[in-house]
């Protein structure tokens, strides 16, 4: 009997709840940390980025207007689905990042826990960053956080799952929709997360995942007038590129989370910074009733 041939996978993008091929028709080979072939991934072009922004914009009203409780439940569900695919994530994180089995398991568990942690903030963040303000007049005056809009997220290049979760979950939990560019060399956990999102209760278009070179899609996202904020975590350490993207983002005054000098240690306690970076404060004056 002949030896069984392995099925070589060719993954696609995740845009608007569907898995389309790149508009460019291009794909690239993904290898493990030792250079062995793992799979083919789609190589997103600027038109894919444009389509992803359109999908995110379309999904924004539904997601931002869902109740905080509902959003939290949906995000918990994502964590449940991640747990179900734990073995796959361990495999992919291990081979992508060159980690042994036990270390890969630890990273995946941490990523799932991180997702749960952020999901829990959904109906609590308003209590922490919102306020009722003392004013000198017969008014109730209170401030509430609202989502910024469509957020472009350049996911970290090294930490393929924990880093990705740490930048994506805080964007979604506030009610924003996201267009994510994954790590170029380590896209498989991001692709698997796309499959998780597609099979959980997250509405199509709320999170969109592009694989390929950051340099191909990031300038489009940074200059796109219908993107309201951008997280530059994925160009950490590349000052020149980060500055260009920041300049492009000025045209419509995007909120920018700047690229750190080097990729941070994602296992550290995250804090609320990444949630509040993508929230706007609305203050309401309401006459005191008689």
Angle (deg, nearest 10), helices 86-97 and 188-199: 160
- Residues contributing to the site for other proteins (CB under 8 A): 50, 53, 220, 223-227, 248, 251-252
Nearest residue (CB) to other proteins, 56 versus 190: 56
Contact (CB, 8 A) for 159 and 266: yes
**Are the beta carbons of 258 and 275 closer than 8 angstroms?**
no
**Minimum distance, C-beta of residue 44 to other proteins, in the bound complex (Å):** 15
As a 3-state breakdown, the chain gives helix, strand, coil percent values, each rounded to 5, of 45, 20, 40
93/154 with CB nearer other proteins: 154
Of the chain, the end-to-end C-alpha distance in Å amounts to 88
- Distance in Å, CB of 223 to other proteins, minimum: 4
CA distance 38 to 40: 7
Judged by beta carbon, residue 31 or residue 64, the one nearer other proteins is 64
Distance CA 121, CA 279 (A): 13
**Which CB sits closer to other proteins, 253 or 268?**
253
CA distances from 4 to 10, 37, 95, 232, 271 (A): 19, 17, 22, 43, 49
In the complex with other proteins, the residue whose CB is nearer, 180 or 248, is 248
| Residues contacting 257, CB < 8 A, separation 6+ | 229, 230, 231, 232, 233, 274, 277
Which is nearer to other proteins, 178 or 192 (by Cβ)?
178
Closest approach, Cβ 252 to other proteins, in A, equals: 7
CB of 57 to other proteins, least distance (A): 8
CB of 224: closest distance to other proteins in angstroms? 4
Enter the tokens of residue 64. Answer: 């931002």
The minimum distance between CB 124 and other proteins, in angstroms, equals: 30
């Amino acid at each position: 009997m002949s030896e069984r041939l392995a099925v070589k996978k060719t993954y696609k993008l995740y845009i608007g709840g569907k898995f389309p091929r790149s508009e460019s028709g291009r794909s690239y080979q993904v290898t493990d940390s030792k250079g062995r072939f793992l799979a083919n991934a789609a190589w997103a072009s600027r038109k894919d980025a444009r389509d992803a922004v359109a999908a995110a914009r379309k999904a924004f009203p539904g997601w931002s207007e869902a109740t905080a409780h509902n959003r939290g439940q949906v995000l918990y569900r994502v964590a449940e689905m991640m747990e179900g695919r734990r073995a796959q994530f361990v495999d992919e994180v291990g081979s992508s990042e060159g980690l042994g089995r036990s270390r890969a398991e630890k990273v995946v568990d941490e990523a799932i826990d991180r997702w749960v942690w952020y999901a829990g903030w959904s109906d609590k963040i308003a209590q922490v960053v919102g306020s009722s303000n003392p004013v000198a007049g017969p008014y109730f005056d209170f401030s509430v956080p609202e989502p910024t809009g469509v957020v472009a997220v350049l996911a970290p290049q090294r930490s393929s799952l924990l880093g990705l979760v740490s930048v994506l979950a805080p964007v979604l939990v506030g009610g924003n929709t996201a267009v994510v560019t994954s790590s170029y060399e380590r896209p498989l956990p991001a692709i698997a997360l796309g499959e998780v999102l597609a099979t959980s209760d997250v509405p199509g278009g709320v999170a969109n995942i592009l694989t390929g070179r950051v340099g191909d899609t990031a300038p489009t996202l940074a200059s796109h007038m219908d993107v309201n904020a951008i997280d530059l975590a994925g160009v950490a350490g590349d000052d020149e590129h980060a500055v260009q993207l920041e300049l492009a983002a000025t045209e419509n005054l995007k909120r920018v989370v700047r690229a750190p000098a080097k990729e941070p240690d994602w296992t550290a306690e995250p804090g609320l910074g990444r949630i509040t970076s993508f929230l706007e404060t609305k203050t309401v004056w309401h006459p005191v009733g008689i």
